[in-house]
């Protein structure tokens, strides 16, 4: 994994990565752009950059001033943060999700860094434009309020998850949620590395291995990236899933 910082060069080169007409229609369908004025949408898009990034690219770094609103159109982005030499994964952003709105809106520095885990298509809109249109277009501001509220509640859930559960419980609940999201009741197909999942769940890779092994008595068996859930009821009995912690916002 190479850590080349592409974002700096993109921010400079204004003319690059124009948005093609065929993409515009797809973008119009995003929840964040629902019900906003046509003029607002047109200007945001005109000012934005839509671009592919290879895996492992650092898109933003905590402590930097928020210069762009990023929207993931395709691929997976990892939000992570560090302090005092340690590092942890905060969240994964998948299509279609924005990050990190709060810093952009209040013109502050980022609290989290972001890197691509896969090849990813990212829409980047200059922060100043977002703030400008938020003030102009009430419909856009309504969408922003909804998105912010969603992000806030997600963060609260993550904090509850971390403070109220053991590692094995977090893993068990993650498996339940994930198998539901993927629509595959009997198993979960990992599309991220286990070391990244471990960081997301707040544990070391070694401990994730052991936690996974410990779930065998509840019918969980893993073969590589495929994790089989033989008895969902038994797993739920151990995990005690709680919508106020686990349900995605």
Residues that bind a copy of itself (CB under 8 A): 62-63, 81-84, 86-88, 90, 101-103, 105-106, 108-109, 111-112, 134-135, 138, 141-142, 144-146, 148-153, 155-160, 162-165, 169, 202, 240, 242, 244-245
Contact between residue 187 and residue 180 where contact means Cβ atoms under 8 Å apart: no
**How many whole angstroms separate alpha carbon 38 and alpha carbon 222?**
49
Indicate which single residue of 95, 126, 139, 167 sits in contact with DNA (rule: CB under 7 A). 167
Binding mask 96-125 for DNA (x = CB under 7 A): ------------------------------
Least Cβ distance, residue 153 to DNA (angstroms): 23
Q: Per rule CB under 7 A, is residue 168 in the interface with DNA?
A: yes
Report how far apart, in Å, the C-alpha atoms of 197 and of each of 47, 105, 180 are: 35, 30, 17
Q: Per rule CB under 7 A, is residue 139 in the interface with DNA?
A: no
228 contact, one of DNA, a copy of itself, none, CB 5-8 Å limit per kind: none
CA dihedral 192, 196, 200, 203 (to 10 degrees): 130
Rg (CA), the chain: 19
Number of residues written out for the chain = 249
Q: Which residues pair with 83 in a beta bridge?
A: 86
> Tell me, what DSSP letter sits at residue 65?
B
**How many whole angstroms separate alpha carbon 219 and alpha carbon 106?**
47
Least Cβ distance, residue 213 to a copy of itself (angstroms): 22
Q: Which residues pair with 173 in a beta bridge?
A: none
**How many whole angstroms separate alpha carbon 153 and alpha carbon 150?**
5
**How many whole angstroms separate alpha carbon 25 and alpha carbon 55?**
26
Q: Per rule CB under 7 A, is residue 160 in the interface with DNA?
A: no
Binding mask 190-219 for DNA (x = CB under 7 A): ---xxx------xxxxxxxxxxxx------
Least Cβ distance, residue 18 to a copy of itself (angstroms): 30
- The residue (of 94 and 150) whose beta carbon lies closer to a copy of itself is 150
4 contact, one of DNA, a copy of itself, none, CB 5-8 Å limit per kind: none
Binding residues vs DNA (CB under 7 A)? 1, 166-168, 193-195, 202-213, 222, 224-225
């Amino acid at each position: 994994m190479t850590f080349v910082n592409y974002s700096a060069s993109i921010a400079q080169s204004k003319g690059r990565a124009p948005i093609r007409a065929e993409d515009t229609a797809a973008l119009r369908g995003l929840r964040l752009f629902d019900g906003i004025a046509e003029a607002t949408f047109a200007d945001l898009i005109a000012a934005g950059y839509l671009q592919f990034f290879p895996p492992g690219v650092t898109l933003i770094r905590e402590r930097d001033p928020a210069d762009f609103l990023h929207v993931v159109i395709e691929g997976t982005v990892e939000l992570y943060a560090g302090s005092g030499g340690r590092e942890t994964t905060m969240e994964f952003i998948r299509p279609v999700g924005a990050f990190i709105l709060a810093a952009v809106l209040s013109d502050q520095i980022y609290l989290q860094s972001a890197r691509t885990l896969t090849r990813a298509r990212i829409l980047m809109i200059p922060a100043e434009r977002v703030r400008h249109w938020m003030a102009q277009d009430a419909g856009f501001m309504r969408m922003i309020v909804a998105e912010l509220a969603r992000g806030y509640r997600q963060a609260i859930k993550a904090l509850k998850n971390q403070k109220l559960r053991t590692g094995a419980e977090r893993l068990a609940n993650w498996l339940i949620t994930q198998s539901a999201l993927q629509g595959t009741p009997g198993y979960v197909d990992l599309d991220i590395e286990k070391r990244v999942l471990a960081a997301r769940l707040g544990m070391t890779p070694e401990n994730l291995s052991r936690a996974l092994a410990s779930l065998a008595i509840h019918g969980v068996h893993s073969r590589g990236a495929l994790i089989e859930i033989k008895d969902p009821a038994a797993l739920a009995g151990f995990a005690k899933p709680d919508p106020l912690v686990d349900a995605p916002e």
